[in-house]
Amino acid sequence: MTGDSGVCMNRQKDKPAVLVSACLLGFPCRYDGKSKLNEEVAAMSEKYELVPVCPECLGGLPTPRSPSELKDGRAITSDGEDRTEQFVNGANETLKIALKRGCLVAVMKERSPSCGSGIIHNGRFDGGLTEGWGVAAALLRSSGIWVIGESSISKLKKDH
Ligand code: SF4
């Protein structure tokens, strides 16, 4: 048993670390207190060391919380409160974890105002989408980390 554990630990150490939005791994950290478990993303643990992060939680926001969307560069809740400071703090903490754990790739929840990559909600809380990046995803990307959404993990399987 001890030997098996040792082998597993060694193999774990050899796996590349990939940052992942915690809600995709089943953590109930979404604004509504639910998760968004994605089995395909969770199964990546066979090949990668998955590092779960929730930028909004890392920024000090509670769960559950009012949903936010990005508007004119600010993170605003559906009640009209400005949460930009918490979003920026959470993004900075997320980057610190990514760098500390040596993550070159991040698999982030699509359309989120923190984690979205390329397309996010439009700031009107009407379900509409627009081009843009979530606050944490944008910071990771500008720091050289390859950020992809959960529907694009086949790219990762192909290239890494
Ligand atoms: S901030 Fe990101 S990880 Fe946290 S609940 Fe929202 S989408 Fe998921």
Residue 156's pLDDT band (cuts 50, 70, 90): confident
Name the more confident of 5 and 111.
Answer: 111
Q: Residue 76, by phi and psi: left (phi above 0), alpha (psi -120 to 50) or beta? A: beta
Atom of ligand 1 nearest to the CA of 21: 3
Q: Give the DSSP per-residue string, 42-94.
A: HGGGGTSEEEEE-HHHHTT--SS---EEEETTEEEETTS-B-HHHHHHHHHHH
pTM over 0.85: yes
Please, what sign has the CA dihedral across residues 38, 54, 119, 92?
Answer: negative
**CA 83 distance to own-chain centroid:** 18
Beta carbons within 10 angstroms of residue 8's beta carbon: 10
> Measured in angstroms, how far is the CA atom of residue 6 from the centroid of ligand 1?
33
Q: Choose which residue among 41, 108, 115, 147 to substitute to test ligand 1 binding: the one with the highest number of ligand atoms within 8 A of its C-beta.
A: 115
105 vs 10, higher pLDDT: 105
Region class of 17: left (phi > 0), else alpha (psi between -120 and 50), else beta = beta
Atom of ligand 1 nearest to the CA of 114: 1
Going by C-beta distance under 8 Å and a sequence separation of 6 or more, which residues neighbour residue 130?
A: 119, 120, 121, 122, 123
pLDDT of residue 11: 46
In the block, residue with structure tokens 């089943």:
26
pLDDT at 83: 98
Atom of ligand 1 nearest to the CA of 56: 1
Report how far ligand 1's centroid is from the alpha carbon of 136 (Å): 10
Q: What is the pLDDT of residue 4?
A: 36
Classified as helix, coil or strand, 102 is coil
Cα 157 to middle of ligand 1, angstroms: 23
Summarised one tens digit per residue, pLDDT across range 18-68 is 999 999 999 999 999 999 999 999 999 999 999 999 999 999 999 999 999
- Going from N- to C-terminal start, the domains of the chain cover 16-159
> Residue 21: CB within 6 Å of ligand 1?
yes
Q: What is the pLDDT of residue 7?
A: 40
55 lines ligand 1 (CB under 6 A): yes
Work out the mean pLDDT of the chain and round it to a whole number: 92
Q: Which atom of ligand 1 is nearest to the CA of 63?
A: 5
